[in-house]
């Protein structure tokens, strides 16, 4: 029997090479006057804004470029950007970059029309999500990803670091009724051409993040049946095309398929929660701001998957098949283990970090990491109930 589900998807998506250059046309159609462009210096120096700015200029749309986004964006930075948005009299936002830029853009859009500080909108449980803390429609937002990873262009989530707690807060809201306010874009312009210059290390880290979205939402507690075809297809594409994009960044077929895979994995995040992989990775990112999110994901993924495998072995078997593993003639236990083998091989091929020590995490912080993981919203989505002792054991196994 299929479990019931419901969802509302209000984001207009333009997927395809060159789609980012439609920003000016869209702004003109909507009668928007001045864009607040949220990005980072790397994106700007790489020339990835050029086509977007030309599009705005050709349609006589003014703009202000805020390129102060840092990895693992903080509440302080988001609130500063929101002040500049108002000072510059902007009326819409274009977030160009990876998850950090798009999440910052969501934070700015939220504070542009809603009172208080960014921490007032933190989601600590799925119950908080249903309550709907966001009362007013956020400022119009266009998301333009330059990585194939986070899926933030299409999801209703943002992750912002609380500097006082050194903790990554989850903000999130889907429309609670047709036409209701939500934390997300009005338009997502998904242009694979913008990923062609992404270095191999970032290609790998963001691609592994996308893989984790597909795997965790698929196996998560309460995952609806609509996720299975989306998640398994994303997993299949990533297993096939991520190594190619890593080895040859100019391969447009690989880049297109990776962007598509990350995109549909991001859609899965609107339909189900993640789990302990994200709980732990986000805690590490909140405590160590220099650690790329995808690298933290890579360290925790195999050990968390091994912990969760017994809770949903049939799904792990399907993950193994999607990743190209041969499971014919194997027991369910053996077949489900193949999913972890496939992930470990992929991580090795991509030269991803293997331990928390590799990431510069101090051994003295392991207990705090385990405790904080239980405070995250993703913890509740894990398919297997995990005690503090269980989580600490996983963290210790990931240290060396």
pLDDT per position as a tens digit, 58-98: 999 999 999 999 999 999 999 999 999 999 999 999 999 99
Confidence of residue 2 (pLDDT cuts 50, 70, 90): confident
pLDDT in tens, 136-176: 999 999 999 999 999 999 999 999 999 999 999 999 999 99
pTM: 0.96
Does one domain contain both 357 and 324?
yes
The kind and range of the H/E element at 171 are strand 167-172
Per-chain mean pLDDT for the chain: 97
Does one domain contain both 151 and 174?
yes
Q: State the CATH number of the domain containing residue 104.
A: 3.40.50.1970
In a domain, 342, yes or no: yes
Candidates 52, 51, 80, 54; CA nearest to 68 is 80
Token couple for 147: 């990585």
Predicted local distance difference test score (pLDDT) of residue 91? 98
Does one domain contain both 254 and 332?
yes
pLDDT at 251 over 80: yes
In a domain, 392, yes or no: yes
Predicted local distance difference test score (pLDDT) of residue 5? 85
Given a contact cutoff of 8 angstroms between Cβ atoms, the answer to whether 36 and 66 are in contact is: yes
pLDDT at 112 over 80: yes
In a domain, 1, yes or no: no
pLDDT in tens, 283-293: 999 999 899 99
Residue 275: C-alpha distances to residues 2, 95, 155, 239, 280 (Å): 22, 27, 16, 21, 9
Does one domain contain both 161 and 236?
no
Candidates 383, 225, 218; CA nearest to 315 is 218
- Alpha helices, H only, the chain: 23-30, 41-45, 50-58, 75-87, 99-113, 126-131, 200-219, 227-247, 252-269, 276-287, 293-308, 313-322, 332-349, 366-373, 388-397
Please compute the mean of the pLDDT values over residues 294-312 and round it to a whole number: 98
DSSP β-ladder status, 157-162 and 167-172: antiparallel
In a domain, 85, yes or no: yes
In a domain, 119, yes or no: yes
Does one domain contain both 116 and 219?
no
Residue 78: C-alpha distances to residues 117, 123, 129, 172, 286 (Å): 10, 17, 21, 15, 15
pLDDT at 126 over 80: no
Does one domain contain both 245 and 221?
yes
Does one domain contain both 172 and 206?
no
**Domain, as residue range, for 154:** 12-195
pLDDT at 378 over 90: yes
In a domain, 98, yes or no: yes
In a domain, 7, yes or no: no
In a domain, 43, yes or no: yes
pLDDT at 131 over 90: no
Given a contact cutoff of 8 angstroms between Cβ atoms, the answer to whether 352 and 295 are in contact is: yes
Does one domain contain both 25 and 163?
yes
Edge-to-edge strand ranges of the sheet holding 62-66 = 12-15, 187-190, 141-145, 92-97, 34-38, 62-66
Q: State the CATH number of the domain containing residue 345.
A: 1.20.1090.10
Domain boundary among 173, 195, 217: 195
Does one domain contain both 235 and 290?
yes
Domains identified in the chain, total number: 2
Does one domain contain both 170 and 254?
no
Confidence of residue 127 (pLDDT cuts 50, 70, 90): confident
Does one domain contain both 190 and 206?
no
Predicted local distance difference test score (pLDDT) of residue 366? 98
Total length of the chain: 400
Domain boundary among 174, 195, 216: 195
Domain boundary among 166, 195, 224: 195
Does one domain contain both 176 and 239?
no
pLDDT in tens, 338-353: 999 999 999 999 999 9
């Amino acid at each position: 029997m299929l479990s019931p589900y419901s969802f509302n998807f209000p984001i207009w998506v333009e997927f395809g090479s060159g789609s980012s250059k439609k920003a000016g046309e869209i702004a003109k159609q909507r009668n928007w006057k001045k864009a607040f462009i949220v990005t980072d210096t790397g994106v700007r120096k790489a020339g990835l804004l050029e086509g977007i700015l030309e599009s705005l200029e050709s349609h006589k749309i003014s703009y202000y470029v805020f390129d102060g986004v840092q990895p693992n964006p903080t509440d302080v930075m988001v609130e500063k950007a929101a002040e500049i948005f108002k000072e510059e009299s902007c009326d819409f936002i274009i977030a160009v970059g990876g998850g950090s830029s798009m999440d910052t853009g969501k934070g700015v859009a939220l504070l542009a029309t809603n009172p208080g500080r960014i921490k007032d909108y933190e989601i600590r449980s799925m119950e908080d999500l249903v309550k709907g803390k966001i009362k007013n429609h956020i400022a119009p937002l266009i998301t333009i990803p330059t990585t194939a990873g986070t899926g933030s262009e299409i999801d209703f989530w943002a992750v912002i670091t609380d500097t006082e707690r050194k903790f990554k807060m989850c903000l999130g809201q889907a429309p609670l009724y047709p036409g209701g306010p939500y934390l997300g874009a009005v338009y997502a312009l998904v242009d694979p051409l913008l990923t062609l210059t992404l270095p191999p290390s970032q290609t790998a880290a963001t691609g592994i993040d996308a893989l984790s979205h597909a795997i965790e939402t698929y196996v998560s507690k309460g995952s609806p049946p609509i996720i299975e075809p989306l998640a398994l297809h994303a997993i299949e594409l990533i297993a096939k095309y991520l190594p190619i994009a890593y080895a040859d960044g100019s391969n447009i077929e690989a880049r297109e398929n990776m962007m598509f895979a990350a995109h549909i994995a991001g859609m899965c995040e609107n339909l189900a929660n993640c789990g302990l992989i994200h709980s732990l990775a986000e805690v590490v990112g909140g405590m160590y701001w220099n650690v790329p999110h995808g690298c933290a994901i890579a360290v925790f993924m195999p050990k968390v998957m091994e912990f969760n495998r017994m809770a949903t072995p049939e799904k792990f078997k399907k993950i193994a098949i999607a990743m190209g593993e041969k499971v014919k003639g194997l027991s369910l236990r053996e077949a489900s283990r193949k999913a972890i083998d496939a992930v470990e091989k992929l991580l090795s091929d991509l030269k991803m970090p293997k331990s928390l020590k590799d990431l510069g995490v101090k051994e003295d912080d392991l207990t705090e990491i385990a405790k904080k993981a239980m405070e995250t919203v993703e913890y509740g989505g894990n398919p297997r109930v995990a005690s503090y002792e269980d989580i600490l054991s996983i963290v210790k196994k990931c240290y060396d």
